[in-house]
Amino acid sequence: MLLNSDTRDKTMPYCYEYPRPAVTVDVIAFTVREGRLQVLLVQRERPPFAGAWALPGGFVGMEEPLEAAAARELAEETGVEGAYLEQLYTYGAPDRDPRGRVITVAYFALIPADAPVRAEGGDDAAQARWFPINALPDLAFDHAEIIAYALRRLRYKLEYTAVGFQLLPETFTLSELQRVYEIILGESLDKRNFRRRILKADIIEPLDAFRTGEGRPARLYRYKPDAVAEVKARRLFP
Amino acid sequence: MLLNSDTRDKTMPYCYEYPRPAVTVDVIAFTVREGRLQVLLVQRERPPFAGAWALPGGFVGMEEPLEAAAARELAEETGVEGAYLEQLYTYGAPDRDPRGRVITVAYFALIPADAPVRAEGGDDAAQARWFPINALPDLAFDHAEIIAYALRRLRYKLEYTAVGFQLLPETFTLSELQRVYEIILGESLDKRNFRRRILKADIIEPLDAFRTGEGRPARLYRYKPDAVAEVKARRLFP
DNA sequence: CCAAAAGTGTTTGCTCTACACCCATGG
DNA sequence: CCATGGGTGTAGAGCAAACACTTTTGG
């Protein structure tokens, strides 16, 4: 079998002459809206699984880094750029796609609550929608498994890392931050302990501004600009 | 460009007609021998990087699961089967291989100290050798970066998971186990605290046998058979 | 009996948890 | 002045770290 032979650099004596799997990226985009953790899904238009919901994703360009492909797919589907992206896992069971061998590199993304997301039918023909994590439709391929794992990892990261900020606007109140944690972890937290822990971590700083609403106005915070770099440094996944 | 078109299922109307990256697996095989943490490397015979040392690895078969490919490469290089294997990360920078686009799924493996490893020139033409982690030769591709990350992850896992047993024979003494931890973490640990922690974790059980040598004989332990399953369950990486 | 490694408890500091009331604002 | 959410401190328990001597065997 001689395939892909025209993409081969003839000066390099190595055996590239085999059929290759297709490589895709899939993105698990999380956001917190309407008090719930939600995941972005798109409706498939073509078989297999036509009409079913699936993770946004697509083929990796031949000159495109993997994370760039994930960022591109996310941007195409939602218009969101610059979101937090992290490689999750690579799924490659031979039968995971009925069309043939497709290996997919899954990324998870955190979308700030105030990001203007163009969903509900983006310019890509496919319809895109947010679904609450506990009310997912039937999913194509092995995407249910992928989402379940992404959720585990998100919860886990939330406990030892400062990644929760990525789901909030640039400035936020401590109560808003706590609510995000509670929604994702699925349990309620003690206000005083939460504030103490977060402040001791020394990754957010108070601003001279307040959010006004019902009740006493709440001080606004932002994460320290250099804490962003630190979150990356602490990452266990490069 | 119409490539790979003969592998396509014609009943499936989807665009597979694009060039594809090659997909490989690379294995970072750790072992503890001669009091040091070591990594298995093979010497490349062909360009690029002919003569340089590299991680064992190779192409993924079209019907082969990713982990199976990693296990196969490891077995071909060392004869070791059934070792602990865990997916590490997928590397896909467009320029990481001068021959063209090669995406590699890296796995790390833990080889028990008593496993009969056929290295030093296996039946595969390439020579294979263990290298101490702190005395690595120049490495091909981005393999130095991959090993650095694998080491970080190994150290991290050792602290919150019971993975250290995978580097020891089926039965071992607590001192041997402690030595493995010390070698990998690069620091010495308090004997009493170490024993208390390990025993409280309730994953190993004492046997009615002793290892005799210089000094007082040491009780042998093994990890509980069902603890193996539990280690897998605790895994954060499916 | 001596060398060598195995084995064993207690104290102390610290971190995490549980818990209840006053404060500032808008209507 | 009242309803609403924001903001604050302390005591007790459980956990982790520091630390030194006795025991068993082989030579």
- The whole-number Å distance from B234's CA to C7's C1' is 31
Beta strand B22-33 with B84-91: parallel, antiparallel or unpaired? unpaired
**Residue A10 domain-assigned?**
no
**Residue B51 domain-assigned?**
yes
Other beta carbons less than 10 A from residue A153's beta carbon: 19
* pLDDT mean over A73-84: 90
Q: Does A93 lie at the interface with B, CB-CB under 8 angstroms? A: yes
* Chain A residues touching residue B99 (CB < 8 angstroms): 8-9, 12, 14, 16
Domain finish residue from A85, A103, A138: A138
* Chain A residues touching residue B16 (CB < 8 angstroms): 22, 99-100
Q: Does B54 lie at the interface with A, CB-CB under 8 angstroms? A: no
Q: Residue B62 is part of which domain span?
A: 22-138
Question: Which of A68-72, A93-97, A231-235 shows the lowest per-residue confidence on average (mean pLDDT)?
Answer: A231-235
Contact A6 B6 (CB under 8 A): no
pLDDT of residue B160: 75
A106 lies in the same domain as A178 = no
Q: Does A28 lie at the interface with B, CB-CB under 8 angstroms? A: no
User: Token pair of A61, please?
Assistant: 């360009």
SS3 of A8-65: CCCCCCCCCCCCCCEEEEEEEEEEEECCEEEEEEEECCCCCCCCCEECCEEECCCCCC
pLDDT (tens digit per residue) in A168-224: 999 999 999 999 999 999 999 999 999 999 988 888 999 999 999 889 999 999 988
Q: Does A22 lie at the interface with B, CB-CB under 8 angstroms? A: yes
Nearest CA in chain A to B2: A4
Q: Does A92 lie at the interface with B, CB-CB under 8 angstroms? A: yes
> Angle CA(B116)–CA(B122)–CA(B128) in degrees, nearest 5?
90
B108 lies in the same domain as B179 = no
B26 lies in the same domain as B68 = yes
* Chain B residues touching residue A14 (CB < 8 angstroms): 46-47, 99
A74 lies in the same domain as A118 = yes
Total structural domains in chain A? 2
* pLDDT mean over A66-82: 93
**Residue A232 domain-assigned?**
yes
pLDDT of residue B119: 55
Q: Does B233 lie at the interface with A, CB-CB under 8 angstroms? A: no
B108 lies in the same domain as B181 = no
B48 lies in the same domain as B95 = yes
- The CATH number for A88's domain is 3.90.79.10
B87 lies in the same domain as B187 = no
**Residue B17 domain-assigned?**
no
Give the distance from residue A152's alpha carbon to the nearest chain B alpha carbon, in angstroms: 8
**Residue A6 domain-assigned?**
no
**Residue A153 domain-assigned?**
no
B173 lies in the same domain as B134 = no
**Residue B119 domain-assigned?**
yes
B27 lies in the same domain as B131 = yes
Nucleotide nearest the Cα atom of A178 (by C1'): D6
* Chain B residues touching residue A101 (CB < 8 angstroms): 62-63
B185 lies in the same domain as B99 = no
Nearest CB to B20 within list A23, A87, A238: A23
B166 lies in the same domain as B132 = no
What separation in angstroms does the CA of B75 have from each of B30, B78, B80?
A: 14, 5, 5
pLDDT (tens digit per residue) in A129-178: 999 999 999 999 999 999 999 999 999 888 877 788 899 999 999 999 99
Query: Which of strand C's nucleotides are less than 7 A from any protein C-beta?
Result: 3-10, 16-20, 23-26
A30 lies in the same domain as A117 = yes
- The CATH number for A185's domain is 1.10.10.10
**Residue B109 domain-assigned?**
yes
pLDDT (tens digit per residue) in A94-129: 999 999 999 999 999 999 998 887 755 545 556 889
Residues of chain B with pLDDT under 50: 1-16, 122, 232-238
SS3 A210: strand
